[in-house]
Amino acid sequence: MKRTLLLTAALATTLCANAQKTEITTDGKSAHVIPAEIYGQFAEHLGRCIYDGIWVGKNSTIANQDGYRTDVFNALKELKIPVLRWPGGCFAETYHWRDGVGPQKDRPTLKNVFWGNTMEDNTFGTHEFFTLCERLGCKSYLSINLGTGSTRDMAEWLDYITGTDDTPEVTLRKKNGREKPFKLDYIGIGNESWGCGGNMLPEYYANVFRQYSTYAHLYCNNTKPVRVASGSNDFDYHWTEVLLKNAGEHMDHISLHYYVLPIRDWNGSKGPDRGFTEEQYFTVIRDGYKMGEMVPKHIEIIQKYQKHVKLDVDEWGIWTDPEPGTNSGHLYQQNTLRDALLASTTLDIFHKYAYGIGMCNIAQMINVLQAMILTKGDKMILTPTYHVFKMYNVHQNAEYIPLNFKSPKYTFNGESIDALSATLSKKDGVYHLTITNVDPKNKQTISLNAANIVAKGITKAEIITSAKFNDFNTFEKPDLIKPAAFTGASMKKGVVEAVLPPMSIVTIELK
């Protein structure tokens, strides 16, 4: 008898678990504003990010405007990119700006020593970068060379970009066709100074940063670009602590780099970009969630020393083995539904901690790592990650409204992570609820009690999903994964209900 009762109870629990609904509540109050800059991009002279990616040159047979690919440019414009970081990355630590100004035919061809020893013809340089930012309507973020450069190189470059007096650099800029100064918004003083940027110790870099920072604003013609210190590699809190302690008053922001690897082995195989196992799927989503541990910890350390300093996650995303058959130094990888889920869950983390964040830049914009766009000859495809960035840009500059819920779990091999991740924001009287279900097998039903938000009904709903976590768009089938109208949401008596299929990202607009 006792045994029968136990079995009945166990069965009831299972049935309940299957029919489980996640109740979400909110007090409707705004906690902070989500800076648009969280949706920043990064374009390095690496592989085919710049060349073939955005830049083909005026004489290319590929449709272009003044050398910028028309198809790629138009797709980027749709993303509402708030800020673009250039020219690296590690590449920036070997970049000398004079190689990239003046008539393109006269610029030197040099070896890209960090990335595959590829020859770099420098046809994309300072003018091409700032003109791109102007055309995209985004802020500019320049990385300064601390590795093979000098404070004098930096000073002259900053004068060239921002100056209005009759200095040799401003005269040169005018001779090169640009009368008025360019608008410089951020300067990164060094990149990965603990690694490719000189393998420095934090105490030493803190002094170098103080030195460069002293001259940075002096040569910016009274404009004051945000000075970004080169920050920590993922969980290295010691780096952040030493930097803030020794140079905190000289910086405006400090960066953080965090890449997710399907197999966390920087020296061996990182795992394939496609055709991967559930274990590698699980690992990526689980490790992506770790951004939610490290971001608040770094912010806490920063704020202990300097309340005004913001954290910039200026390199993030998934890093897999390169696509078979491509140059391993070019970091070209396919982009799957898994990567889209990593993007949406990471953006949720950035939204949550936006009170301490200045900007974030996914790595990288085109043809490199977790790219928005992949190109082949005159063809282009938009990746699942592109679609997330476009779908989520409704959160840019919106008010973040915290949600309360206990997520059901996605369990693999005895390890559990949250199946659901979500953001609610409000801008111009319109609410957007974005929810991700990372569970590859189970759908999730949610119900949001909207009593505390002023919305009459659902005005739009979209979904990104696919049958398998390793599905991706190809040049033959470019639209396998793209946003579609979502019919699984309804609102009745102030309660929003939605049924999220496995591995899906949904946006619901409420007015």
- Catalytic positions are 192, 315
- Torsion, Cα of 379, 385, 389, 391 (10° steps): 90
Q: Is 322 in the site for ligand AHR (CB under 6 A)?
A: no
Q: Is 339 in the site for ligand AHR (CB under 6 A)?
A: no
* φ, ψ (nearest 5 deg) of residue 423: -140, 140
Of 37, 159, 192, 348, which one interacts with ligand AHR (CB under 6 A)?
192
Our CB check for ligand AHR shows the closer of 191 and 383 to be 191
Of 50, 133, 301, 363, which one interacts with ligand AHR (CB under 6 A)?
363
Our CB check for ligand AHR shows the closer of 48 and 351 to be 48
Our CB check for ligand AHR shows the closer of 314 and 418 to be 314
Q: What is the largest CA-CA distance in the chain?
A: 96
- Select the span of 351-359, 363-371, 482-490, 494-502 touching ligand AHR (CB under 6 A): 363-371
Q: Which amino acid is at 86?
A: W
Q: Is 163 in the site for ligand AHR (CB under 6 A)?
A: no
CB of 369 to ligand AHR, least distance (A): 6
Please name the residues in contact with 395: beta carbons below 8 A apart, sequence gap of 6 or more: 34, 38, 347, 351, 423, 425, 432, 434
Q: Is 315 in the site for ligand AHR (CB under 6 A)?
A: yes
CB of 294 to ligand AHR, least distance (A): 16
Q: How far apart are the C-alpha atoms of 437 and 499, rounded to whole Å?
A: 10
Q: Is 299 in the site for ligand AHR (CB under 6 A)?
A: no
Cα 246 to the center of its chain, rounded Å: 28
CB of 95 to ligand AHR, least distance (A): 11
Position with the least CB separation from ligand AHR: 89
Which tokens go with 67? 């050398």
Q: Is 314 in the site for ligand AHR (CB under 6 A)?
A: no
Q: Is 44 in the site for ligand AHR (CB under 6 A)?
A: yes
Q: Is 128 in the site for ligand AHR (CB under 6 A)?
A: no
Which tokens go with 22? 């996640």
State the residue for tokens 């990104």. 464
CA end-to-end span of the chain: 55
Our CB check for ligand AHR shows the closer of 43 and 242 to be 43
Q: Is 190 in the site for ligand AHR (CB under 6 A)?
A: no
CB of 49 to ligand AHR, least distance (A): 9
CB 40 within 8 A of CB 360: yes
* φ, ψ (nearest 5 deg) of residue 142: -105, 135
Q: Is 120 in the site for ligand AHR (CB under 6 A)?
A: no
Our CB check for ligand AHR shows the closer of 321 and 497 to be 321
CB 391 within 8 A of CB 507: yes
Our CB check for ligand AHR shows the closer of 186 and 282 to be 186
Task: Report 82-101 residues binding ligand AHR (CB under 6 A).
Answer: 88-90
Q: What DSSP string runs through 177-224?
A: T--SPPP--EEEE-SSTTTTTT---HHHHHHHHHHHHHHHGGGTTT--
CB of 364 to ligand AHR, least distance (A): 6
Please name the residues in contact with 455: beta carbons below 8 A apart, sequence gap of 6 or more: 431, 491, 510, 511
* Contacts with ligand AHR, residue ranges (CB under 6 A): 44, 88-90, 191-192, 315, 363-364, 369
